[in-house]
Every structure is written in structure tokens, then in C-alpha cells.
Homo-oligomer: A and B are copies of this chain.
Amino acid sequence: MALYVGEKADRRELIDTAMGRVPADTVLSDGQLLDVYSGVIRQADVAVKSGRIALVGDAKHCVGSDTEVIDCSGLHLAPGLMDAHIHIEAAMTSPGQFARAVLPRGNTAVNWETLWSANVLGVEGLRLLLEECRRTRLRFFLTATSGVPCASTDLVTANHSFSIEDIRELLAWPQVTGLGEVVTFNELVACRERELEQIEAALKAGKTIDGSAPGFVGRKLAAYAAAGIMSDHEATNAEEALDRLRSGLRLVIREGSSMRNIVDILSALAEEGADTRRCCFCVDDKDIREIDAEGLIDDLVRKAMSAGVDPVEAVQMGSLNTAEYLRLDQEIGGIAPGRLADILLISDLKDFTVRRVMVGGRIVAEEGRLTEPAAVASYPEWALNTVKLKRELSGADFAFPTARREESRVRVVKVLSDQIISYEETATLPVVEGEIRPDPGKDILKLVVIERHGRTPPNIARGFVRGFGFKRGAAATSISPDHHQLIAVGADDADLQAAVNRLVQIQGGVVVCREGRVLAELSLPIAGLMTAIPYEETIRHLEEISAALRDLGCKLPSPLMTLAFAGCPTLIEFKLSDKGLIRIGEGKLVSLEVEE
């Protein structure tokens, strides 16, 4: 089981090992060490005892008859990499499979922003997930997520709602690094008591406070920083990146599925001659197919190096800087005496080719594969049955009735290719038999959000969306950050109904239907967000789903992400929740039909 910060080390044994009085368990000899502390590369041995590093330097005197000596000549040694802010649910894999996918690539720790799971499963759900995390060799750290509920309950139906006592309890867990991303947009700038209380609780606990301030600059960003927020991962350009650093925030540089910012930001920092010591790396949201193809933080390190960043500096942003920010640097983030022995053996530094991965002194992955079976966990029924509609849905649920005749001017959610933001548009649609009809010819489809936590009759919110390009059929998913209601898009009512009904049957996931038939699907039984099947199978299902979506006429590069975020009540700028269409900036609901 992975060691966690706060667990007592046997310091006497480490001292004796360093002094040569007790032999090391393992000595990594003659490696080229990426020293993130001094910022230079040098030759050194590393002596490991009981999962921690006892000595770095000349370790001949630490070798005993039972010591395993691993010849690292010709190899580089780097500290294990850490993601500073990730929603692992975006990979749709449970912690065990997620660890299986990322550990062999050199990612030994993640700071899991638990916003998604917590909204569905609450504090008890986090406890459950942590149990699976603890069975892996990946060091999962969690946030006491701020966003439960994820938005004002006037705008969305909440399943769980964390009280300040819940936050305090979570902050007391040793695996919890701090308060999760404080996503409040104008509310915080308007000083919402709720967030201010959470912030004081985190400061009092001596833990960190993650931010999320997309588009904030100038006075708004200053207000955000003044509130006590310590980081932000939403910067997309030079101005935003520099403004964050200058405001004393940790600049968490993101390169995920839908948001790819690293090249722009690193070049901006280089141009400014800015110090990167307070820059960290994260993926935020990343599709398992892209994780499989590119990696996680190893991908950012590679991209930083090819953008001209010095290798040690690139690794610092993926290890020490994050450990320092999260106050874990006494335990992880570098290769030094007393630290947990999380060490990467790298054969080609330029390509950051990770040959072997050591975590807690054990080789846990070799040549891209775990050396032991992936962790599995069994979840109780309540965590596996989270799509709780209070009644069967009928065709009428997917009809858009109107009092108007012939046509109606309606508001439309305009989604953008490869972005999670969406804007408000209007369009005039035909009215047939008292219903507003979509117009696939003009790429205007139906968008439906259905409250799935069993808190309402259920609420069914109706809207139109432009940008998916479906000519036919429908798709539905239980992934819709951060509340994770059911969200469906379609050109055809019958397919919408079929997709949603199937989604209910499989208790969450993704379903694509055409002519009443299921073309492809993926079941995500854990919270309706994750599955424990081997991640390669998840990838296969996702590829079938992509093909099915193309068959419907969809040309978006990542349509599932786009669909999921079309319901997100905390992003820019126009979204659909189970309560209706939301103008985020104004924090209010608006009608589907434009008033005449």
C-alpha cells in the first residue's frame, strides 16, 4: 500500500543505513541524477531503505550481502511526477485502472480534485474511493472539494451539499492536501460567506486552497488572490499566466484534453524571463485514450523540454514545485535523504523514456507495465446505483411544447470545437403540432438535462444546441460536470428517449442510439462516472462510441467532453442545467423562447 504523508518513518533505521551501520534494501548505482533541489544533473548513487531514501551520493558503504544493486549507468534518475490538479473521473477509469495507466509512465502521485465524485457520492463516497486508492501504488492525494453543491441551488438541483463541518472533517484527513478549486466566479468577488468560511478553515488547518478563475485578470484576479486562494490552473495566454504569478498564485500550467495551454504559457514565461519555481503541471481533465497515447505529467515534461525548457526545470514543474505548493516536499518531489523513494529510471532524457518506476522503494512498473496486478475494489450498491429516476420517461418528456404557432424564436447553446465553454445564440425554429422542433439541417439539435439523483419528479430541462452536427440519432451521458445529471443531445425524440432509457438501465455511462437501436455504449457504474474494467476495454468502447457519433454526423473532435460541459453551471457562458438555461455571468435562468 502506498505510504502517505504523515506516516511515521523509521528514522533510526534511515540514519543507520546512511551511516553504513545497516545495509540498504536497494542501491541505484551510478545514475545521472536530476537534482531538483540544486537544479543540476550529476552522477550519484541512491540508497533506499524501507521505502525511503537514506542517502544520495556515494553509497558503496550502504551495500550489504542482501542489498539489491541496480546498475543505473547510462540512465537518468528523476523524482516521480505529480499532477497538481486532476479530475480522474474524466478518464472514466476507477483509481486502480487509472493507476495502471499512468504509473508506468512515471506519474507517481496525483492531487485529485474530487469535485465530480463528491457531488454524486458525498463524503462517504470519497471514503470509499480512497479505499481503492490505498490499494494502488500511485499516491492519491485528495482535495476537500469546495464545489458541493457545484453552483447555487437556484440554478441546479444538488444531490449532496457539504457543510463547513464536512469541509473541516475532510481537511483533517492526512491524504487531503487542502480545499479544492474554489469555483465561484462573480460570487466570490461578491464575497459569498460560504467560500470565505471554507478558505478560513483551510488556512486554519495549514492546508492549501486551490483556485479556478477562468478569464480572471486585473482587479478580479487580485480580489480572488486577496481572498486567500493560492493557485489557479485556468490560464490560457501570456497575460493570464503572468498575472497569476505576479499575484502570488501558484501558476498551475494545464495540458489536458480540451484545454491545451502549455506551449503558449511556457513561451510567455520565457519571453518575460519569469522564474518558474512557482509553476506546476496538471492535466485537469484528460481522456483515457489521450492518457494512453500521450501520458499524463510525463507528456507536459516532454512538451516543456521540446519547447526549450531545461530538463531539470521541466521536471521541477512536474515534481518539486507541486510538492512545495502542496506542502508535501518533505515526503515527495525530489530525490534526497528522508524522502519516500519514488524514483524514475529514464533511458532517453530528451524523450523522457521511463524504463522503470520505483514507488516507496519498490519497482512497481517496468517497460510500460505494472509489475503487479492492478488494484481492484468492490463498491456497495449505493455507489453503483446512482441513476435514480422517480418514473419511466415517456415521449412527452422529450417534446418541447409551445403556445406559439408556425415558428418560435429560441435561445440556443452554441458549443465550440475543442472547448468547454459555450455561448448564447438565438434561432427561429418551426413549430409543428404545438411543439418546437429541432432543425438538424441548420445543426440545431435538442439538448435535454434530466435530474438523476432522485431529488426531483425528475426535473427535465429542455434546450437547443448548435455545434454537434448530428444529422440523426441521439447520445446521452451521466457525465455532466459538476452535478452530473443526465445530459442528452439528439436530432430525434425517439432516439433521445431510447438513449436516456438505456443509460438508466446501465446505471450511467454513455449511450449512442440511432433509429431506436443502441449503436455503442459504455457502462460507468461507479457513481455513473467510472468503471473498473481494464482501461483498454474502456478505450475500445470509447472508440466505438466515437465511430457511432461520426455515423450520426458529428464532426467534433471530442464530442463527449463537449456534451458533458454543455451542462456545466460554472463555466463560460451559457449552459443548460436540470432547472433550465443559465446565463452564467448573470447567475440567472432564462426562458427557452425569446420573449416577443
Cβ B37 vs Cβ A226 within 8 A:
no
- Interface hits, A518-562 → B, CB 8 Å: none
A480 to chain B, nearest CB (A): 30
Instruction: Kindly list 16 other residue pairs between chains A and B, CB separation below 8 angstroms, not including A11-B228, A203-B330, A246-B336.
Output: A12-B191, A14-B223, A15-B226, A15-B227, A17-B226, A18-B219, A20-B219, A37-B278, A38-B274, A38-B275, A40-B272, A40-B273, A57-B218, A230-B330, A248-B338, A327-B327
Q: Which of B6, B245, B337 contacts A248 (CB 8 A)?
A: B337
Contact A53 B330 (CB under 8 A): no
Query: Interface readout for A40-58 with B: 1 if CB under 8 Å, 0 if not?
Result: 1010000000001111111
Q: Taking the complex as formed, is A215 at the interface, i.e. its CB lies under 8 A from any CB of chain B?
A: no
Indicate whether A238 reaches chain B with its CB closer than 8 angstroms: no
Query: A37 CB to closest chain B CB, in angstroms?
Result: 5
By beta carbon, the residue of chain B nearest A192 is: B12
On chain B, the residues within 8 Å of A226 by CB distance are 11, 14-15, 17-18, 52-55, 337-338
Q: How far in angstroms is the closest Cβ of chain B from A569? A: 22
Find out whether the CB atom of A247 lies under 8 angstroms from the CB atom of B15. no
Give A178-200 interface residues, CB cut-off 8 Å to B: 188-189, 191, 196, 199-200
Q: Is the interface of A mostly helix, strand, loop or mixed?
A: mixed
Q: How far is the CA of A272 from the CA of B56 in the complex (A)?
A: 18
The distance in angstroms between the C-alpha atoms of A67 and B336, with both chains bound, is 50
Closest to A248 in B: B336
- Interface residue A277 (Cβ < 8 Å from any Cβ of B): yes
Residues of B within 8 Å of A56, CB to CB, are 222, 246-247
Contacts of A278 in B (CB 8 A): 37
| Contact assessment for A204 and B6 in the assembled complex, using a CB-CB cutoff below 8 Å | yes
CB distance from A511 to the nearest CB of B (A): 44
Nearest residue (CB) in B for A53 is B226
- Report A269-293 CB contacts with B as 1/0, cut-off 8 Å: 0001111011000000000000000
> A134 near B: Cβ within 8 Å?
no
The CA of A226 and the CA of B203, in the complex, are separated in Å by 29
Query: Do A15 and B336 have beta carbons less than 8 Å apart?
Result: no
Residues from chain B with a CB closer than 8 A to the CB of A8 are 200
B274 engages A40 (CB within 8 Å): yes
Take A227-B14, A246-B38 as given contacts and tell me if A337 and B57 are in contact as well, using a CB distance cutoff of 8 Å.
Answer: no
Inter-chain contact B12/A223, CB cutoff 8 Å: no
Tell me, yes or no, whether A225 is within 8 Å of chain B by CB.
Answer: yes
Known: A336-B247, A338-B226. Is A273-B39 also a contact (CB below 8 A)?
yes
Q: In the bound complex, how far is the Cα of B220 from the Cα of A54, in angstroms?
A: 11
Copies of this chain in its oligomeric complex: 2
Give every chain B residue within 8 A of A274 (Cβ-Cβ): 38-40
Tell me which of B191, B204, B277 contacts A277 (CB under 8 A). Answer: B277
Instruction: Name the residue among A19, A37, A278 with the largest chain B CB count within 10 angstroms.
Output: A37
A36: min CB distance to chain B, Å: 8
Is A232 close to B, CB under 8 A? no
Of A18, A204, A247, chain B has the most CB atoms within 10 Å of the CB of A18
Instruction: Say yes or no: A222 contacts B40, CB within 8 Å.
Output: no
Complex Cα distance, B427 from A584, in Å, reads 87
7 contacts between A and B (CB under 8 A): A19-B189, A37-B275, A40-B275, A55-B226, A56-B247, A247-B336, A277-B277
Q: A61 vs B191: C-alpha distance in the bound complex, in angstroms? A: 19
Quick check: B191 and A15 within 8 Å, CB to CB?
Answer: yes
Cβ of A339 < 8 Å from any Cβ of B?
Answer: yes
CB-nearest residue of chain B to A207: B206
A35 part of interface (Cβ distance < 8 Å): yes
Task: Report chain B residues within 8 Å CB of A338.
Answer: 225-228, 248
Verify if A16 is at the interface (C-beta below 8 Å from B). yes
Contacts of A249 in B (CB 8 A): 336
Contact A38 B191 (CB under 8 A): no
User: Which chain B residue shows the least CB distance to A339?
Assistant: B248
A220 to chain B: closest residue by CB? B19
Q: Which residues of B contact A277 (CB under 8 A)?
A: 39, 275, 277
User: Measured between alpha carbons, how far is A38 from B249 in the docked complex, in Å?
Assistant: 10
Closest 9 CB pairs of A and B: A248-B336, A39-B275, A18-B223, A226-B337, A14-B226, A225-B337, A55-B222, A18-B222, A12-B191
Best-surrounded residue of A191, A274, A327, A337 (most CB of chain B within 10 A): A337
Does any Cβ of B come within 8 Å of A309's Cβ?
A: no
Does A242 sit at the interface, judged by CB under 8 A?
yes
Choose from B52, B199, B206, B230 the contact partner of A206 (Cβ within 8 Å). B206
Kindly identify, within residues 221 to 276 of chain A, every residue whose CB is under 8 Å from any CB belonging to chain B. Answer: 222-223, 225-228, 230, 242, 245-249, 272-275
A247 to chain B, nearest CB (A): 6
* Chain B residues with CB below 8 A from A206, complex form: 206, 327
Would A242 and B38 be within 8 Å (CB), given that A228-B330, A330-B228 are in contact?
Answer: yes
A149 in the interface (beta carbon within 8 A): no
Rounded to whole angstroms, the CA-CA distance of A364 and B17 in the bound complex is 52
Known contacts A37-B275, A272-B38; is-contact A199 B11 (Cβ 8 Å): yes
Question: How far is B200's CA from A537's CA once the two chains are assembled, in angstroms?
Answer: 45
Q: Judge if A418 is at the interface, Cβ distance under 8 Å.
A: no
